[in-house]
Structure 1
Amino acid sequence: MAHIKLPEFEEMTPAIQDKARPILEKTGKLGDIFKLLALDEKIYFATDGMIQKYLLDETTLSYDIKEAIALLISKENGCKMCVDVHKSIAKMLGLSEEKIEEILQGIDSMNVDTKDKALLNFCIKASGKENYKILKEEIDSLKQMGWSDVQIVEAVAITGYFNYINTLSNVFGLGHSN
């Protein structure tokens, strides 16, 4: 149970209700993170914009890489709710159960090329408290492997998004029974 009172559909602003209605029609419920964000329309729409642009729109990174970042960062941050949500999203995007479990075992267990592992390891480092210690040479190394500046920025933006959403979920006890 969340540490604060989450609004029900009827308590949300009309603009957020418009976003909630299709979710309710499709799934029959609203997740705790949706309800938490719905407390403040500005936070809701800023976050929704990030979700649309970073995760759902086609971008320079594949959905496989984006979902791997989502799962790895959420696991790193101890956000069980986000891991569970992204396991479902990864399945919807066509990742097999085996591939998802491989990701959750950690980067070294993943059957991906060295280039992908390097980017994912970089994202883990970028998500940490000591990300200010990342050196230009580490970014240059990713570029030498074939990652573009845009792809690296996008990967770090997705990493930052998951630090943000995991923090909201963890601080307010979302997805926990008590």
Structure 2
Amino acid sequence: MPHIPLPEHLPGITGLLEYSQDTAQPIRELTQFLLRGENTLSAGERELIATIVSHNNECKFCTSAHTAAADLLLGESKTCKIIKQDIDKAEISEKMKALLKIAKMVQKSGKSVTKEAIELAKNNGATDLEIHDTVLIAGLFCLYNRYVDGLASVTPADPGFYEYLGERIVNHGYNRLPQGYDHLKNK
């Protein structure tokens, strides 16, 4: 049960963002820019960063939501499963492996990021902007994970919910739906 009254038809982050639309707006804009804006990292790769951080923060809602979105964007589900267990075994570029490792360091503490990790990413083709964006996405998802879990937002157990949410994220991004979310009251 959430620690504050939230819209019952909106579990997870959506209910929190609806609860306080004033604080939600800048967070949504930043998330939309970072995860769907023009970038040399694909939207799927950026969703992998959100997934690995959420997974390591043990935020079930965010892990499930961003795994679903990454799976859709990548067109397969194997990569997310593997990175949660061992990044090095994933069939992704060495650059992406290095960036995901940086994201995991940020998840622990910003001070955990080492010069060696940055050099490894650069040596594997990561640009300064890609490293910057990785660190910022990782920090942003630490905020989201703590927001969802800190207010005990509802975390649905039904995997079908996350399939729907993943599709919504892929198709509409992180902006508030123009029509709001009242249509979800019947689901």
TM-score, with structure 1 as normaliser: 0.77
Asked if 1:142 is matched to 2:121, the reply is: yes
- The equivalent position to 1:88 in structure 2, one of 54, 65, 68, is 68
Asked if 1:119 is matched to 2:86, the reply is: no
RMSD: 2.1
- The equivalent position to 1:79 in structure 2, one of 59, 68, 85, is 59
Asked if 1:4 is matched to 2:9, the reply is: no
2:171 maps to which residue? none
1:104 maps to which residue? 84
Q: Distance in 2 between matches of 1:134 and 1:98?
A: 27
The answer for unaligned runs of 5 or more in structure 1 is: 9-28
1:172 maps to which residue? 151
Deviation at 1:5, TM superposition (A): 0.6
Higher-Rg structure is: 1
State the one-letter code of the partner of 1:4: I
TM-score, with structure 2 as normaliser: 0.73
- The equivalent position to 2:17 in structure 1, one of 37, 41, 46, is 37
Contact 2:54–2:145, Cα closer than 8 Å, also in 1: yes
Contact 1:6–1:32, Cα closer than 8 Å, also in 2: no
1:50 maps to which residue? 30
1:61 maps to which residue? 41
Distance 1:47 1:71, change over 3 A: same
Q: In the TM superposition, what whole-angstrom CA distance separates every residue of 1:111-158 from its partner, at most 9, and x where no partner exists?
A: 2232221111111112213x3243445423322321111111011111
Deviation at 1:92, TM superposition (A): 2.9
Deviation at 1:74, TM superposition (A): 0.5
Distance 1:135 1:83, change over 3 A: closer
Contact 2:105–2:112, Cα closer than 8 Å, also in 1: no
Deviation at 1:75, TM superposition (A): 0.6
Contact 2:52–2:83, Cα closer than 8 Å, also in 1: yes
Equivalent pairs, count: 156
Q: Distance in 2 between matches of 1:134 and 1:97?
A: 28
Q: Distance in 2 between matches of 1:64 and 1:166?
A: 19
Stretch deviating more after TM superposition (159-168 or 110-119): 110-119
Percent identity between the two aligned chains: 31
